[in-house]
Amino acid sequence: MKTLAPNLYKVTLTNKAMRTSSRNLYMIKSDDRSLMIDTSWKVPECLNDMENALKELSIDYKDLDIFVTHNHADHSGYVSYFTDRGARAFMNPVEITEASDRYHRLYENNTMRRSYTRECGVTKELAPDAWQEINTGADRLAKENNINFNFPFTPIAPGDIFSCGDYHFEIVPLYGHTSGQCGLVERNKKLFFCADQVILGLTPIVITAGKDQHLLAEYFASLKELTADYTGYRFLPGHYGEFTEIREETDRIISEYETRCTQLRLALAESRRPMTLLELDQALYVQRMQTYRYSYLFSYLNTWPKLFSCLDWLAETGVIRRAEKDGILFWSLR
């Protein structure tokens, strides 16, 4: 556990089974109620690290508040565990009412998963290999990680004030990564807990998983607001290291999404025909000269949401057309 500021601590959590990046768990100790920002994946090693931190700081479950920035498995996996033991959780209810992003569609074998895969051009009849790999892999991951997105929480909203000891936070919207992600800003101390909105050296996934969600447009607007309003702040993200040069990070992220949009336009121009998202992803895979084996499940998790976000934005801005046939989306240049 590392001390970041008076009564502010960071614990680095790792899910070795998923081979994903580490998670930053932030905790604020107070004489009254203490604060934990998010939890972790639902794996024993993470729970052990969190409980050890609570014990070291002498924080009882019943005196703990949990601010859930967004409802993804690596952030909310253990919320119900702590609330069952007396803690209180707080989250933007949009994360439940708009539970349509890739994680909910992946782990829940329901109409959302089926509609998303079909929109991307994956059906049992047209792309049996992709359909089989995605559905089998999704069911396996859901079972192995015991995913549960439902837990009791008190609704919060952007603009609310959330205090803990000497820290007085304003809840701010961080839309794009999800529909309802929120962060915490301490204006007097110039601290910004920015969740997964901006991550040092990484391009966060804007998790569009359905037409007309407009999440990339919202994400671009959010990044520009961060640059305009929070220069000089200390940013504490959900993954990797902290940073202060917000313009450098937001410019890099916007540039990388714009590059991906250009790649999609070029692929559509070369094809001279309407293409599905699956076909576009495979075309870009060939263009990138990737040496690893193409994986439908990996692409479903890591590539398709970004591509869908870019396609949605390009259609929204009038650059490309979108047509739908039997639930499958086809994209073409105007």
pLDDT at 101: 66
Tokens describing residue 59: 């924080």
Tell me how many degrees the CA angle 85-91-96 measures, rounded to the nearest 5.
105
* Same domain (yes/no): 57, 169: yes
User: Which residue range(s) make up the domain with 263?
Assistant: 259-333
Distance CA 309, CA 118 (A): 16
* Same domain (yes/no): 180, 138: no
Sign of the C-alpha dihedral computed for residues 112, 114, 117 and 118 taken in this order = negative
pLDDT at 43: 87
Distance CA 186, CA 205 (A): 26
Average pLDDT over every residue of 283-294: 68
Give residue-wise pLDDT tens across range 92-111.
999 987 665 666 666 766 67
Q: Percentage of residues in the chain with pLDDT exceeding 70? A: 92
CATH number at residue 243: 3.60.15.10
pLDDT at 139: 80
pLDDT at 27 over 90: yes
Distance CA 101, CA 104 (A): 6
Distance CA 177, CA 160 (A): 21
Give residue-wise pLDDT tens across range 110-152.
677 778 889 999 999 989 999 999 888 888 877 776 777 789 9
Tell me how many degrees the CA angle 184-179-267 measures, rounded to the nearest 5.
120
User: By CB neighbour count within 10 A (0-12 exposed, 13-18 middle, 19+ buried), where does 272 fall?
Assistant: exposed
Distance CA 8, CA 46 (A): 19
Average pLDDT over every residue of 302-306: 89
SS3 256: helix
* Same domain (yes/no): 73, 158: yes
Backbone angles phi, psi at 220, to 5 degrees: -60, -45
Give residue-wise pLDDT tens across range 39-82.
998 888 999 999 999 999 999 999 999 999 999 989 999 999 99
pLDDT at 270: 93
Give residue-wise pLDDT tens across range 221-246.
999 999 999 999 999 999 999 999 99
Tokens describing residue 123: 């059906």
Query: Could you tell me if 296 and 314 are in contact, meaning their C-beta atoms sit under 8 angstroms apart?
Result: no
* Same domain (yes/no): 141, 175: no
pLDDT at 291: 54
296: confidence class by pLDDT, cuts 50, 70, 90:
confident
Residue at 254 is within a domain:
no
pLDDT at 98: 62
Tokens describing residue 107: 């782990």
* Same domain (yes/no): 27, 130: no
pLDDT at 327 over 80: yes
Lowest mean pLDDT, pick from 191-205, 258-272, 292-306, 313-327: 292-306
* Same domain (yes/no): 66, 139: no
Q: What is the pTM of this model?
A: 0.92
* Same domain (yes/no): 175, 90: yes
Which of 145, 160, 179 is at the close of a domain?
145
What are the counts of helices (DSSP H) followed by strands (DSSP E) for the chain? Answer: 12, 14
Distance CA 220, CA 211 (A): 18
Backbone angles phi, psi at 192, to 5 degrees: -135, 110
pLDDT at 162 over 70: yes
For 208, how many CA atoms within 13 A lie in the half-sphere containing its CB?
24
**CA-only gyration radius of the chain, Å:** 20
Residue at 298 is within a domain:
yes
pLDDT at 144: 72
